[in-house]
Amino acid sequence: MIILGLDPSLSCTGWGVIRAEGARISHIANGQVPTDARAPMAVRLATLHAALSEVIAAYHPDRAAAEEVFLNKNPQSTLKLAQARGAVLATCGMAGVAVNEHAARLVKKAVVGTGGAEKQQVQAMLKVLLPGATIAGADAADALAVAIADAHLGKV
């Protein structure tokens, strides 16, 4: 099974593709989709849609996974995250790819063993779980963690 992990963000959305065969996982690809902060919102969302459409077309995931939405203290940031998530989830829906959503603490627990793990701990565990994989950046690492968690927790 091929799983597309997603870390939606308006500034830089991370994505990671893994293969899960029983308890075994392997790295296929990962990357990040930055958007231009000076561009209009519609253009930024279209950038996310176009880039993720290409990822889906290239890797043909059986399903996708994303972290559940969380609330920021800043309502404007929450709204921007929600818009980016909407574009990402709609892209999957348009491609016929079902999306599982997992709480951030559950993702950390599935990858590291504790829901309170720091980002550095998650990234260190990715090196163990996906040896030899070159990770494009922090957002791609988060997306790979979501994909790995979904391989263990997935519902679809």
Catalytic residue at 67?
Answer: yes
> Binding site annotation covers 118?
no
Q: Is 62 a catalytic residue?
A: no
> Residue 144 corresponds to which tokens in the numbers above?
């790979």
Judge whether 139 is annotated as a binding position: yes
Question: Cα–Cα distance between 136 and 103 in angstroms, integer?
Answer: 23
Beta carbons of 30 and 135 less than 8 angstroms apart: yes
The answer to whether 150 is a known catalytic residue is: no
Is position 21 annotated in a ligand binding site?
A: no
Residue pair 10/80 in contact (Cβ under 8 Å)? The answer is yes
Cβ-contact 32, 15 below 8 angstroms: yes
Catalytic-labelled residue, pool 21, 54, 101, 139: 139
From the list 21, 62, 67, 142, the catalytic residue is 67
Classify 41 in phi/psi space as left (phi over 0), alpha (psi -120 to 50) or beta.
Answer: alpha
Catalytic residue among 7, 21, 36, 54: 7
Task: Summarize the annotated binding site as residue ranges.
Answer: 7, 67, 139
Catalytic residues: 7, 67, 139
Residues flagged as binding site for Mg(2+): 7, 67, 139
